[in-house]
């Protein structure tokens, strides 16, 4: 419990640091949101008026001239302090271009990213761990060689190329799956959790379930490739290390079946580094797979933040990045806590 409390308290400086870095880097990128809204041929007066409305004419962190004169509003009226004040109140602001509250956009888009990421991670874990176990059990055989070469290809394959090849083969040539999107426009689903597969199952909309599954298939395949390869290689390496331990030799000497040795004695002790990799990869996927979501027109966090960066929509990028940082920290916390369940010898001092 003490460890958990310390980790939760560490969220405060972590998120604060993220806000400073993101706030500063966004404003170092060339381009002006006011110009992006009005166009390059807009008059200077119009641009200045929009900058005043958006608060972009205020100092970033503090107004040194005002502070020298003893006016502390030069610090309070800065862009960063106003942003931080709204954040403390739970107000992420609104999109500069669409004028929609960031919290509303996040509530609509985050479930789409969660569904895509969890489905991709489920495929990666379901295939990656068995492949790693088989490769370790049959070390230096053709099965091991084929598995590891396939994993190497999976790690090295660019997602944007794989996604385009999937669209060409499965959507254009074979016409098995739709090209993009999350659901056919003619189908309406009563939203409960925001996860379409779960919502359609709960409400009994089987036609909508299969349509959502078809839309999900190609993005999941593209997104799961790299995590699957990494998990397979990590599982193999960890299993090979554990299989050299004395207690494994003892189990084999007692005449235990190979399958029992692998799954009851070796796998549980080999899972710690695998769980770490799964946690990190889950954080990456939940953060929003920008390339995958852009290629397949998936309405998630990644594509939303990408469009906001192009349009210099500061509030959207700040809100999306804060959510991504929070997801990473919480996933890492869950991974650390899972260590104690996998290995009772671990204690947090």
Convert the pLDDT of each residue in 162-218 to its tens digit: 888 888 888 888 888 888 888 887 778 787 888 888 888 888 888 888 988 888 889
Contact partners, residue 213, CB within 8 Å, separation at least 6: 197
Evaluate whether residue 73 is within a structural domain: no
Task: Output the pLDDT for position 128.
Answer: 87
- Where do the H-state alpha helices sit in the chain? 2-9, 11-28, 33-38, 44-54, 64-68, 73-76, 79-88, 102-137, 142-156, 159-166, 196-203, 206-242, 246-253, 258-260, 267-286, 290-295, 301-310, 314-342
pTM of the predicted protein model? 0.77
Tell which wins on pLDDT, 167 or 311. 167
| List of residues 6+ apart from 220 with CB closer than 8 A | 116, 119, 120, 123
Task: Note whether residue 260 is domain-resident.
Answer: yes
pLDDT at residue 346 greater than cutoff 80: no
Residue 29 covered by a domain:
no
Per-residue pLDDT at 151: 83
Q: Residue 27 burial by CB count (10 A; 0-12/13-18/19+): exposed, middle or buried? A: middle
Q: Residue 176: which domain range?
A: 104-342
Residues 6+ apart with CB under 8 A from 309: 29, 317
**Distances, alpha carbon 287 to alpha carbons 72, 230, 331, in Å:** 38, 18, 11
Q: What band does 11 get if pLDDT is binned at 50, 70 and 90?
A: confident
Q: In a 10 Å sphere around its CB, with 0-12 CB exposed, 13-18 middle and 19+ buried, how is residue 245 labelled?
A: middle
Distance CA 173, CA 175 (A): 6
Residue 67 has pLDDT above 60, yes or no: no
Is residue 77 in a domain? no
**pLDDT category, 287, cuts 50, 70, 90?**
low
In a domain, residue 188? The reply is: yes
Confidence of residue 53 (pLDDT cuts 50, 70, 90): low
What pLDDT sits at residue 69?
55
Distance separating alpha carbons of residues 326 and 320, to the nearest angstrom: 10
pLDDT of residue 281: 81
Find the CATH number of the domain harbouring 169. 1.10.3720.10
The count of structural domains within the chain is: 1
- Asked whether residue 69 is assigned to any structural domain, the reply reads no
pLDDT the model gives residue 62: 61
Position 72 pLDDT exceeds 60: no
CA 114 to chain centre: 8
Average pLDDT of span 232-254? 79
pLDDT at 349 over 60: no
Is residue 6 included in any domain, yes or no? no
More confidently predicted of 119 and 182: 119
Residues 140-160 pLDDT 10s: 788 888 888 888 888 888 888
Q: Please say whether the beta carbons of 199 and 184 come within 8 A.
A: no
36 assigned to some structural domain: no
């Amino acid at each position: 419990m003490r460890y958990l409390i310390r980790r939760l308290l560490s969220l405060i400086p972590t998120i604060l640091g993220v806000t400073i870095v993101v706030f500063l880097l966004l404003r170092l990128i060339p381009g002006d949101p006011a110009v992006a809204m009005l166009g390059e041929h807009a008059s200077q007066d119009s641009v200045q008026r929009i900058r005043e409305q958006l608060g972009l004419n205020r100092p970033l962190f503090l107004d040194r001239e005002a502070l020298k004169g003893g006016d502390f509003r030069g610090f309070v009226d800065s862009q960063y302090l106003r942003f931080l004040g709204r954040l403390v109140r739970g107000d992420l602001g609104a999109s500069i271009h669409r004028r929609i509250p960031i919290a509303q956009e996040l509530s609509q888009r985050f479930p789409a990213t969660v569904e895509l990421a969890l489905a991709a991670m489920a495929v990666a874990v379901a295939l990656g761990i068995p492949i790693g176990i088989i490769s370790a059990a049959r070390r230096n055989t053709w099965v091991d060689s084929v598995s590891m070469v396939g994993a190497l290809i999976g790690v090295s394959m660019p997602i944007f190329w794989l996604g385009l090849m999937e669209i060409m083969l499965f959507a254009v040539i074979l016409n098995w799956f739709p090209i993009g999107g999350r659901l056919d426009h003619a189908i309406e689903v009563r939203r409960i959790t925001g996860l379409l597969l779960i919502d359609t199952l709960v409400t009994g909309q089987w036609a909508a379930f299969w349509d959502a599954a078809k839309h999900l298939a190609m993005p999941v395949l593209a997104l799961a490739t790299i995590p699957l390869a990494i998990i397979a290689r990590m599982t193999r390496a960890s299993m090979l290390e554990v299989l050299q331990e004395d207690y494994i030799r003892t189990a084999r000497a007692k005449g235990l079946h190979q399958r029992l040795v692998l799954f009851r004695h070796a796998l549980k002790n080999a899972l710690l580094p695998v769980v770490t990799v799964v946690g990190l990869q889950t954080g990456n996927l939940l953060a929003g797979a920008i390339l995958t979501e852009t290629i397949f027109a998936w309405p998630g966090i990644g594509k939303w933040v990408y469009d906001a960066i192009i349009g210099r929509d500061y509030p959207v990028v700040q809100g999306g990045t804060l959510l991504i940082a929070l997801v990473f920290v919480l996933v890492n916390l869950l991974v650390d806590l899972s260590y104690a369940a996998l290995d009772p010898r671990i204690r947090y001092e």
